[in-house]
Structure 1
Amino acid sequence: MDSNTAGVNTHDWVTVDTVICTGNLGIAIKVAGALAALVAVYIIGYVTGYYVHKC
């Protein structure tokens, strides 16, 4: 395998990573991920509390 071709794939991933993790798009993705995690924890807590306090 030629070392130049291996570097192209790495460069592509670095570019994608830079676009996704920075700027307005990156902020939107981070906010959406945090909101999804918060909702998931809330639902898990709600269901757990329901079954714990069911009696």
Structure 2
Amino acid sequence: MDSNSAGSVQYDRWNEDNINMNVEGSQSTVMRIFNTVCMGSTGIAVKTAGALAALVSIYIIGYVTGYYVHRC
């Protein structure tokens, strides 16, 4: 493509070295909190605590339901 002809687009002004690929800086606050809480050893602890809380709540719901169903 001839850069001197009328109506042509000059691509030589594009500098690919100045493209900012900083993904970490453009993340929202929610995503930063998610990455902090759900990744690494902290994430394992949070998932373990959540699983334990879910099991305990299911046990309590089952106990209360069984109590009211079987009381005669």
* TM-score bracket, shorter-length normalisation: 0.7 to 0.9
The normalised TM-score by structure 1 is 0.75
The normalised TM-score by structure 2 is 0.59
Structure 2 unaligned segments of length 5 or more: list them. 1-24
Identity, % of aligned pairs?
58
The reply to whether residue 49 of structure 1 matches residue 66 of structure 2 is yes
The count of aligned residue pairs is 48
Q: Partners of 1:44 and 1:9 in 2: how far apart?
A: 39
Q: Considering fraction of residues, name the structure with more helix.
A: 1
Structure 1 unaligned segments of length 5 or more: list them. 1-6
Q: More relative contact order in 1 or in 2 (CA 8 Å, sep 6+)?
A: 1
CA RMSD of aligned residues (A): 1.8
Bigger Cα Rg: 2
